[in-house]
Structure 1
Amino acid sequence: MGKSDLPSATDAPDRVRTITDLARIAGVSPGTVSRALSGNSLVNARTREKIEAIAREHGFRPNQMASKLRRQKTGVIGVAIPLGHDVRQQISDTFFMTLLGYLADELTEKGYDLMLRRVIPAQDEDWLDRFIGSGMIDGVIVIGQSDQFERIENVADGYLPMVVWGNHQEGQRHCVVGTDNRLGGKLAAERLIAAGAGSLAFLGDTQPVEFAARFAGAREVAERMGVPIQALPTHLSVDRMTLEVAEHLEAILGECDGIFAATDTMAVACLKELRERSIPVPASMRIVGFDDLPISSHTVPPLTTVRQDIAAGAKGIVDLLLRRLEGDDTESLVLPPHLIARATA
């Protein structure tokens, strides 16, 4: 949204010159106002009538050029990566780059360009509405639910062409493509215990929906088999991760002999720290990662991990999004995880 769209500091509180002003009075997001005034049937009738009434009352007319642009096809799909859980994480993260590569391949093949946004929700609460209402994209892909689950749910109520890479929960309203993370957590814990681990640690932040599901699955198996398990919060930004992994290992060595890392990147950091301490893997410490990124087969020793099929996920995201652009209210797609047994457990 450009400077001309922002309300002037000298405007009266009830002056309506922009969509943002109207949204403030109506108590909704600018994106909802934009969709309501363009006649989008996905905005419920009561909300649309309320917004139209306020617009008439204040003599508001939306920018005609912007409205025209929103009605046209842009040939661009927006990809947003919300980082509410860890604002220092970078898009250069190996998982993001792997998924983005597959998405770019799929979108290009279907004739679409890609517009990428790294989002810090604390700095822009309406990040998703702004992106959708910008008039620059035909649809949106969100990579990761982070701590933005409810915001994504609210947008899904009035916006159809959106697909999210993330964890599926029973009853949720937004369309998701992703791995069965809870089952993946179960596979990881079962492997560690079968390999002889008598006490487990989960490395990762259990606030994001996907990681919470992975930990829940591992904890279910551990409790059923009478094996203690603890969660050790670990950031995904490399600078924090390295320090936190070192601190965690100092705290658990001697009492824990099995680590389930929430990502392969964390597992690789564990291997590095253990090697520097001359602690043999898997003789003294077993490790299982998650993702099966290309690096996992090249570590020393090669990493046992839970594979999520990122290539199939990217294809599923694009296929579902294109169907949604045609008006099809699609179901979510949950992919099965697979344990890739290598040498660390």
Structure 2
Amino acid sequence: MDNSTSVANHTGQMDFILVGFFLQSKHPALLCAVIFVIFLMALSGNSILILLIHSTSHLHTPMYFFISQLSLMDVMYISVTVPKMLMDQVVGMNKISAPECGMQMFLYLTLGGSEFFLLAAMAYDRYVAICHPLHYSILMNHKVCLLLVSGCWFLGSVDGFMLTPITMTFPFCRSREIHHFFCEVPAVMKLSCSDTSLYETLMYICCVLMLLIPVMIISSSYYFILLTIHRMNSAEGQKKAFTTCSSHMTVVILFYGAAIYTYMLPSSYHTPEKDMVVSVFYTILTPLINPLIYSLRNKDVTGALSKMFNVESPRKL
């Protein structure tokens, strides 16, 4: 008993091995190049959106403030997992130390949780803008926006501080191979040789709350938004409201759908291959898609972008 415990504690200090999808791919070099291009596009797209919102005065509104925060989270989110994965493929190593694994886990949990609540704050912002337009400037002043964003970051960090230490203190005496491309909680928990059923139940309850509270806020906001839109006499007003809200709802469905699969469906629905595909979707593709949704479908953003390039081009001439 004591011997096995010492072995578990000893192995707990060893490196993990990330068995990503490159090892299972027939063309790993091509896949690596594609992911690198996606990574650069996501970084540049979100960075441009942040700079554009910051430098354009008529985009200094609560809605665009929240969009810039979403882009910031996406830049950090994709940077937590992809550079390590690409570097391992290039160098030919796929090891990660326990402290590095814990840090990666904490960051993605914090950023993912923060994004859940930020999407709820964005839905509330749209509710106030459409249902209470006369009081919008008061209800969504700069102080309120800062408090909402600060609350989103704080609640996300609570998720990271709760789950990461518990996960990483379990003894790992099975294979050191994590069948994933980063240290995701469910994948790491499979390596533990102790009974994790109670922790998995608590984690499930935590994730349900992390998802349920924002979903309730989003659902309530859009219920009242749809009622208000239905009562509008202006077809132009209805179209503008639908366009604004549909962009946000697209992001919500993409992000929450992947999270519900990962953390709320029973283990019988999961395989390492499916988990990696879903994780690729919300850690790599969603940060790429978000700026496209909020720029290509938004006349204010596309107008500001074209104006910026039009202003810059005469200077070059």
Larger radius of gyration: 1
Fold match by TM threshold 0.5: no
Q: Which has the higher helix share?
A: 2
Higher relative contact order (CA 8 A, sep 6+): 2
**TM-score under structure 2 length normalisation:** 0.24
**TM-score under structure 1 length normalisation:** 0.23
